[in-house]
Amino acid sequence: MVYKRRIALSQDEALGWLAGEHPCPRPGQIGAEIDYFLDFYRPLVPTVFLSSEREAYCSAEEPGFRLTFDERILCRRVDISLGSEACGTPLLPEGRVLMELKCTGGIPMRLVRELSAGRIYKTSFSKYGTAYRTLIWPEQRKEAARYA
């Protein structure tokens, strides 16, 4: 189970807040939780840029159900700017797509049957974790070897 905390801000508002230039532009519970996180983990610095192309679907019949498909999941350690073009190292093999089912209750039975018939089963995949194993950890190992 993953809980995400989100707040809608412009890029300038978010960057200024995260850099400590001003308080949260939208005070409230979520802003307070993020402030706590920022204070606990300071100093935070960007380390990786992740991007993907997403198609998202929701069900009119099952309001708590969403289905997303992420393609071209890319990561990079340079030019970590939200204004830059999407480029970097692919995290999935060519032709692969990440499908995520998100639901507040159970997965609709007709979809369970379709997934089972297609031999599609639950698995774990972390975009950041994969980027870490692909880019960050190898760089850290090389750096550590220089000092060994």
**Domain segments of the chain as ranges:** 1-45, 49-147
Q: Are 107 and 65 in contact (CB under 8 A)?
A: yes
**Among 65, 64, 75, 80, CA closest to 129:** 75
Q: Closest by alpha carbon to 64, among 22, 103, 121, 32?
A: 103
Please state whether the predicted TM-score (pTM) of the whole model is above 0.95.
no
The model's pLDDT over 6-56, given as tens digits with 9 standing for 90+, comes to 899 998 999 899 888 999 999 899 999 999 988 999 888 888 999 999 999
pLDDT at 4 over 80: no
Per the CB < 8 A criterion, the answer to whether 69 and 55 are in contact is yes
pLDDT at position 47? 85
